């Protein structure tokens, strides 16, 4: 990517950043789930396992869905650009 592309917006950098954001959200979900598992296990082992597991699974799932929704917008933009170029 050249400096010209960066200032002219010929190439989009957000889709690459979304991948990094997904990995960060996934790591945060795992850490939060493990922390919940440890803290809740102090009170009840079964509750800690259930809540910790749910936070990990649902956190990763919702992070993935969130990032995919944003990427769909960029895919629509790419397809619209191809469609408009083919009409010329």
pLDDT for position 5? 67
Distance CA 3, CA 8 (A): 9
Distance CA 13, CA 32 (A): 29
Boundaries of domain holding 71: 23-81
Percent of the chain residues past pLDDT 70, beyond the cut:
92
Is 27 part of a structural domain of the chain? yes
The H or E element spanning position 57 is: helix 45-87
Is 18 part of a structural domain of the chain? no
Q: Is the dihedral of CA 42, 44, 45, 48 positive or negative?
A: negative
pLDDT over 70 (residue 1)? no
Q: How many domains does the chain contain in total?
A: 1
pLDDT for position 4? 72
Is 87 part of a structural domain of the chain? no
Is 67 part of a structural domain of the chain? yes
Alpha helices in 2-44 (DSSP H): 3-8, 14-41
Is 12 part of a structural domain of the chain? no
Is 64 part of a structural domain of the chain? yes
What's the pTM value of the predicted model, to 2 decimals?
0.78
Which residue reads 């440890």 in tokens? 38
């Amino acid at each position: 990517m050249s400096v010209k592309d960066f200032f002219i917006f010929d190439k989009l950098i957000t889709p690459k950043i979304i991948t990094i954001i997904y990995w960060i959200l996934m790591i945060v979900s795992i850490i939060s789930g493990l922390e919940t598992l440890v803290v809740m296990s102090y009170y009840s082992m079964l509750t800690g396992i259930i809540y910790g597991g749910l936070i990990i699974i649902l956190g990763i799932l919702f992070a993935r869905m969130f990032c995919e929704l944003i990427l769909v917008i960029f895919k629509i933009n790419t397809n619209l650009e191809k469609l408009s170029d083919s009409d010329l």
